[in-house]
Amino acid sequence: METALYDKDAGFFAVGRGPTGRSDFVTSPETGSLFGLIVANAIEKLWMEQGSPREFTVIEAGAGSGRLCREVLRSDRGFSSAINYITVERSEALRQVQEVTLGKFSNVSILADLPDSSTSGVIIANELLDNLAFDVAEFTTEGWAEVRVGLGSENVAGAGTPNFVEVLAPLDAEHRSLIPEFAARIGDRLPMQVGIVEWIARAAECIETGAIVIIDYAGNAEDLARRGGWLRTYRDHTRGSNPLMHPGESDVTSDVVLEPLRDAIVAAGFRIESETTQAEWLLGLGIDEEVASGEATWLAGAARGDLEALIGRSRATEAAILTDPEGLGGFTVIIARRE
């Protein structure tokens, strides 16, 4: 998975796929400007709760095209003069997009990895954790086993195309610790998200005091094992069925298992302040008020048909998408703090 997504020459993100104009999926920031306005509300709240410091760092991990950063900085809130915004994006192609998107902002740094220094502020990870490398476990008659990738005896789909196959292997203690205890059934599968645990530990090194905001599709282990479908691929705007097909050409993603994520956050020295859905989080941050403000702007400027009025008119549509409980609104939002 690491190679298929992040190989510097042929990985899915290396060639500029992901949340951009030629995306195979749409994230909340790409629906319009509303999500960025609400995230700005959240950042301002966190900034004020830390005493409105003169310097405040926002680290956005997995920043994609830079759209969220742009909308936050456009919002012109009380923290605007204090903010130092760092976008972190592994894809060189997407970092080049950010250079264009964010070029006019002097308080933005574009990095390929999390910074080495520790600071006061907030880390935002919006739909990042689902793309971090994970392994797969299957429950068998002898307990949990690891599902590895092997090479079959014949090539498929033409000469030179590898025939990847699944191979069961014994599960080591590190991986077993990532599987919560529940009444598993034969054939149940779960992701073992080693990449998430490593990322949480690394992110914790960047924040001396402040918060981590995690937004992603997630679920408890037993729920994910029962319903299945947590491992997904997307290629050419279509959901795939086999993650071993088209490596480097497909996005590979998984629901986040909540129990080991919570454990990793606490082990890194943070306390979980809240865990809710994206819809509830956005409502608590004033999305209804922003929609009402947009409607007022539209009514005031409809006769002119100017851009500001049109943006205001679109907010109701954006809000419906962002709060849809069967879609983006059903995502889990975790706020964790370190004082």
* CATH 3.40.50.12710 domain span(s) along the chain: 2-133+193-240+250-286+325-338
Confidence of residue 309 (pLDDT cuts 50, 70, 90): low
Q: Tell me the per-residue pLDDT of 179-230, one tens digit each, with 9 for 90 and over.
A: 999 999 999 999 999 999 999 999 999 999 999 999 999 999 999 999 999 9
Tell me if the pTM is above 0.85.
yes
Q: Tell me the per-residue pLDDT of 322-339, one tens digit each, with 9 for 90 and over.
A: 999 999 999 999 999 998
Q: Which CATH architecture has domain 2-133+193-240+250-286+325-338?
A: 3-Layer(aba) Sandwich (3.40)
Q: Tell me the per-residue pLDDT of 288-304, one tens digit each, with 9 for 90 and over.
A: 998 887 776 656 655 55
Q: CA–CA separation, 320 vs 122, rounded Å?
A: 27
Residue 5: the pLDDT is 84
Spatial neighbors of 166 by CB under 8 A, at least 6 apart, are 147, 148, 149, 150, 244
Cα angle: 326, vertex 329, 335; to 5 degrees: 135
Residue 16 has pLDDT above 80, yes or no: no
Q: CA–CA separation, 90 vs 127, rounded Å?
A: 14
